[in-house]
Chain A
Amino acid sequence: MRLSFRRTRSWRCSRLCREDDVGATLVVAQGRDEPSPCIKCMEFPTVFSITEDEIDLNDLLAKITSTSTGAAAIFTGMVRGTTSRGAAHETEYLEYEAYVPMAEEKMKQVAQEIRARWPTVEGIAIVQRIGKLFPKTPTVLIACTAAHRDTGVFEAARYGIDRLKEIVPIWKKEVSPGGEFWVEGEYFPKPGE
């Protein structure tokens, strides 16, 4: 008895990428026509979180590596103790906070935007650590994997961190020997962005 068959037709991925007619072959149970994820979203993981725990690069990298993966571009940012560019100053620590449910939704949106722009990207990890973080401590990680390094993974990871800094609701308070202040970005997201 055949439990499934393969066919191609116009359809919309029911999961992360929401692409119309992604051109992949859809596997559906015979006689049923339920929303299905595309092959890409079934196979390739997206990991996103706001955490107070240490960022575990090896663990994240393992989560976004598939058998077809041959390259990963990883951006990570850390607390800078001494700033010389612009207004030179020392930082004792940074204190991060987030509007967690919205931040997670917006991280998911950033991942969707990456997949729409770089269809060759396989796995995506977006993690922001919050709480009180001292110099040299990693605070954020964006990693994108792909089959090969020349498929846009560097640009995809760069886009991910740039977008996180625009639309993901997270803030940091800078605490210095001379006092403390909330760091504010410059980007005003458009409605629905």
Chain B
Amino acid sequence: MNRVKLLFFATLRDRAGTKSMELDIPADLTVQGLKDKISDEYPNLKDSMSSVIITIDREYASDEAVIPPNAELALFPPVSGG
């Protein structure tokens, strides 16, 4: 298992009820796998997983990307700065 850090922003933070948390994930878990895991284990976040943006170490990641150990993952909706 790998330990990773999850950061939540905007709607995702409100639904998660926290700004960040640590999570143990299987070593070969992909971004899509993480979405599935969160859908299963965190009912409040299930509906958000179809349109969430996920970054790995501050870069936009594909669903197929494998999450490296100690990664900093961020989950958020499409951005709305300006």
- List residues of A whose CB falls within 8 A of some B CB: 77, 96-99, 101-103, 105, 128, 139-140, 161, 164-173, 182-193
18 other A-B residue contacts (CB within 8 Å) besides A99-B55, A172-B81: A97-B9, A97-B10, A102-B58, A140-B81, A164-B81, A164-B82, A165-B82, A167-B60, A170-B80, A171-B80, A171-B81, A182-B10, A182-B11, A188-B53, A189-B60, A191-B62, A192-B59, A193-B60
Report the minimal beta-carbon distance from A110 to chain B, rounded to whole angstroms.
11
Tell me how many residues of B have a C-beta within 8 Å of chain A.
21
* Interface membership of B77, Cβ < 8 A: yes
A168-B79 CB under 8 A given contacts A97-B9, A191-B65: yes
Beta-carbon contact of B60 and A191 below 8 Å: yes
Q: B82–A99 contact, CB under 8 A?
A: no
Known: A97-B9, A191-B65. A168 touches B81 (CB 8 A): yes
Q: Which residues of B contact A (CB under 8 A)?
A: 7, 9-11, 14, 53, 55, 58-62, 65, 74, 76-82
Assembly CA distance A96 to B55 (angstroms): 20
CA distance A184 to B9 in the complex (A): 11
Cβ contact within 8 Å between B80 and A99: no
In the bound complex, do residue B58 and residue A105 qualify as a contact, i.e. CB atoms below 8 Å apart?
Answer: yes
